[in-house]
Amino acid sequence: MKIRFEEPPVKLVRTAWKILVGIKDLLVLVLLLLFFSALFAALSHRPTPATIRDGALIVAFNGALVEQPSEADPLAGVTGARAAGQVSARDVIRALDAARGDSRVKAVVLDLDSFLGGYPATVSEVAAAVGRVRAAGKPVLAYATAYTDSGYQIAANASEIWVHPMGGSLFMGPGGRQLYYKGLTEKLGINVHVYKVGKFKSAVEPYIRADMSPEAREANTALYGGLLDQWREGIQKARPKARIADFLMQPEVAITAAKGDIAAANRAYGLVDQLGDRIAFGQHVAKLVGAPSGARAGNFNGIKLADWLQANPVATSGDAIGVITIAGEIVDGKGGAGSAGGDTVSKLVLDGLKDGKLKALVVRVDSPGGSAMASEQMRQAILQAKAQKLPIVVSMGGLAASGGYWVSTAGDVIFAEPNTITGSIGIFGIIPTFENSLAKIGVTTDGVQSTPLSGQPSIYGGTNATIDTILQSAIEAGYGRFVGLVAASRKLTPQRVDEIGQGRVWIGGIARQIGLVDRFGGLNDAIAEAAKRANLDPAKVRPVYLAKKPNAAAAALAAALSSFGNDDEDDGNWADAPAGSDTYARIADERRVLLAQALGDAKRLTASGSVQARCLECMALGVPSAQPSDLALLQFALGAAK
């Protein structure tokens, strides 16, 4: 008997395959059509200015308070990638100041439920703007489920402070622990070669120590203590009856007396005025400003921040004072908003100067530093303004340290806030080598050198005495140049600069006493000073921000893609906003972000290819600014540890 195998129905299979391919092509075509239709609609759309009606100006602090927000990822809404939000301090201050004398703004609402914090000086500037609105007699109401230290500093200047009854606030103060990698690098066999100048330059300590050096502990104790004193004094001034000192130093006494109810303890110590959820708060605001007809409970007549800013644009008349912003990490090459690329910033300055319309230049610095080469590149570009006989005024924001101070030496006068973080005059370089790591797995290296520098520094074989001597000498020369720039700019002797340098970080109040800063004041004060130095009336000048023009197509694409699946929110839909996290959730989330940031900082420091003028300890004082890549690195590390 013959066994017969049936041939597969080839024609049927081919037909099915063609159908599947056709469906796939159709879906791709539909997606492309939707994509380009949305893009075309966004590009061709010309938004009309929103009509401002009477109500409460809603200032939602959805993220970290920064000098210059980073560019948003246009595909974030599609890919689901989460990035921490950022709020422009400059926009918030402008909006609050414009609201003071406008009768359409019946009250100001501060939504601090999703606030991630900011550098002390930046937060202080916003808090002062809130205080100006309150002093003008306009109601200012703050709300949060749980306030951060920075959030409460802003809220303390409001007329009323509300907190969720199941929330409540604990205040941490600056400081805490950081990671040290010496034990890890020894276990892995990584040899970390550090070249530095400055006994207080503690940015490199995590790679060469298992704990904090006495010098770093001394400097940080003074720095944190000064910042805490200023924070406490600012709150006490805004709320004289609040028992902030008692609650800050003995929170367990207050909370146990309230039987574990943190919100009730906040109220008992005079830190908050009312307990209530978002609906109760919204109903209270509605009594002051009214509510739309048929609105849900908790909603009120609101004015969106974006609409208010659009209705109150920056002045376009008057003599032009250029403002160049150096915000974020200083890096070689190009950089987007939120980072200071040497090539990018230099081009912006030179382009702004070429038409001769600027009467003065204000340099706004909010940076922990970074590449020494990029810092010098930007300084040289700024000096071209001086070559054109333009006054140069430096305005320090929350942070202007290391490379940020290097750039500041180009100024004729330096403004800072009492709690600006500055100084950190010192430089370093790090080169990791892996000869011991390879030896652990039985891999060795050998070769022939024609000169003492052949193959040096070798990541496989380590460094030799010749290259170590050269690199350390180059770092010392770089430090000498840094000291010389500061000495010439501040009219100090190099010996004096070395005494107050050595990588030590100072707050603005002390920096002014030792000659690193000239005056206290914010950006507007710096612009006014620049006008006076140019023999102009400060009331008749306008700031011209030297910044990259936003990519219209990318912005439109981001707006179009983010709109998919999102319902438009009507003005004043306060009660519909997502609820904030309680104290426990907020603390856990902050620790997670800080850990991710620490891992990211370690990666960036060791991956950097240039001499660094960077203040690592400064970055721990402000915003937990973990990038998406940092969070991904943390997830990988946690997964590998399982």
Give catalytic residue positions.
201, 402
Amino acid at 158: A
The token pair at 627 is 């990038």
How close are the terminal C-alpha atoms of the chain, in Å?
61
Distance CA 554, CA 559 (A): 9
Phi-psi sector, 290: left (phi>0), alpha (psi -120 to 50), beta = left
Amino acid at 287: K
CA nearest neighbour of 239 among 281, 269, 276: 269
**Residue with the two structure tokens 């038409």:** 355
Transcribe 231-272 into DSSP letters. HHHHHHHH-TT--HHHHHH-HHHHHHHTTT-HHHHHHHTTS-
Distances (CA, A) of 196 to 96, 377, 469, 471: 44, 21, 12, 9
CB hemisphere CA count around 552 (13 angstroms): 7
The token pair at 283 is 């109903």
CA nearest neighbour of 624 among 116, 145, 153, 231: 116
Instruction: Provide the 3-class DSSP secondary structure of residue 402.
Output: coil
> Angle 617-621-623 (CA atoms, 0-180°, nearest 5)?
120
Name beta bridge partners: 394: 363, 414
| Polymer length of the chain | 642
